[in-house]
């Protein structure tokens, strides 16, 4: 089983988060496939047990590169239902639209019929960093990776 982490990052902040998300997946005993949107193909989506998307906050939403990747995922419409999913982002400002960015990515995962689990104990919709991720944000990233991996295993066991 594996979790695919697809991210876009221009200046490295989102990339640092992506690497920590991967550590959380690995800690749960699953393989983590870490790819930039440029490296990833939508064909990777069909093979993954869990899918986590990461993008910087651009004007309160995901970067165009990530949106373009999601739009191409229509190739697998109705084929990704029941997979575990999640999202993470980084922004310039605390109130700079990071939650709307997370929700923009989560919305696409939900439309695919995927299972997205929030959390009551840390950033509710997924980890957020303001600028370069600090220790708290990195811990949130590991937690996200672990949560999605656990959910993927539970969903696989229930099938
Ligand atoms: C085109 C563009 C739009 C941005 N829009 C926002 C925004 O709406 N709100 C915000 O807080 N930061 C915004 N930022 C800042 C980035 O979200 C922030 O620098 C982020 O950490 C960059 O991530 P990266 O290092 O992974 O590329 C924007 C940056 C760019 C280049």
What pLDDT, in 10s, does the model give residues 27-84? 999 999 999 999 999 999 999 999 999 999 999 999 999 999 999 999 999 999 999 9
12 within ligand 1 shell (Cβ under 6 A):
yes
User: Residue 156 pLDDT more than 90?
Assistant: yes
Mean pLDDT of 93-106: 98
For residue 9, give the ligand 1 atom closest to its CA.
26
User: Residue 159 pLDDT more than 90?
Assistant: no
Give residues with Cβ within 8 angstroms of 47, minimum separation 6: 2, 4
What pLDDT was estimated at residue 118? 97
Quote the CA–CA distance of 26 and 19 in Å, as a whole number. 11
What pTM value is reported for the model?
A: 0.99
**How is residue 154 written in tokens?**
């539970």
Beta strands 84-91 and 31-36, pairing class: unpaired
Q: In this predicted model, what pLDDT tens digit does every residue of 5-35 receive, in sequence order?
A: 999 999 999 999 999 999 999 999 999 999 9
C-alpha of residue 41 to centroid of ligand 1, in Å:
24
Q: Which residue has the tokens 């400002």?
A: 93
93 within ligand 1 shell (Cβ under 6 A):
yes
What pLDDT was estimated at residue 155? 97
What pLDDT was estimated at residue 111? 98
Quote the CA–CA distance of 102 and 105 in Å, as a whole number. 5
C-alpha of residue 140 to centroid of ligand 1, in Å:
19
What pLDDT was estimated at residue 108? 98
118 within ligand 1 shell (Cβ under 6 A):
no
Q: In this predicted model, what pLDDT tens digit does every residue of 124-136 receive, in sequence order?
A: 999 999 999 999 9
What pLDDT was estimated at residue 58? 98
9 within ligand 1 shell (Cβ under 6 A):
yes
CA-proximal residue: ligand 1, atom 15 (nearest): 92
Average pLDDT, the chain: 98
* Cα–Cα distance list, 150 to 4, 24, 156, 158 (Å): 14, 10, 10, 12
C-beta of residue 115 within 8 angstroms of C-beta of residue 50 = no
C-beta of residue 54 within 8 angstroms of C-beta of residue 47 = no
User: What is the percent of the chain with per-residue pLDDT over 90, rounded to a whole number?
Assistant: 99
Mean pLDDT of 101-108: 98
């Amino acid at each position: 089983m594996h979790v695919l982490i697809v991210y876009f990052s221009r200046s490295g902040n989102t990339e640092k988060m992506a690497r920590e998300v991967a550590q959380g997946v690995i800690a749960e005993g699953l393989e983590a496939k870490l790819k930039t949107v440029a490296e990833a193909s939508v064909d990777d989506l069909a093979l993954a047990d869990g899918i986590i998307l990461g993008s910087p906050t651009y004007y309160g939403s995901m970067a165009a590169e990530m949106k373009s990747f999601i739009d191409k995922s229509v190739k697998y419409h109705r084929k990704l239902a029941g997979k575990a999913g999640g999202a993470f982002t980084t922004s310039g400002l605390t109130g700079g639209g990071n939650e709307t960015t997370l929700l923009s990515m989560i919305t696409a995962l939900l439309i695919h019929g995927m299972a997205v689990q929030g959390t009551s104990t840390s950033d509710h919709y997924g980890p957020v960093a303001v600028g370069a991720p600090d220790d708290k944000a990195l811990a949130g990233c590991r937690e996200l990776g672990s949560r999605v991996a656990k959910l993927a295993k539970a969903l696989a066991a229930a099938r």
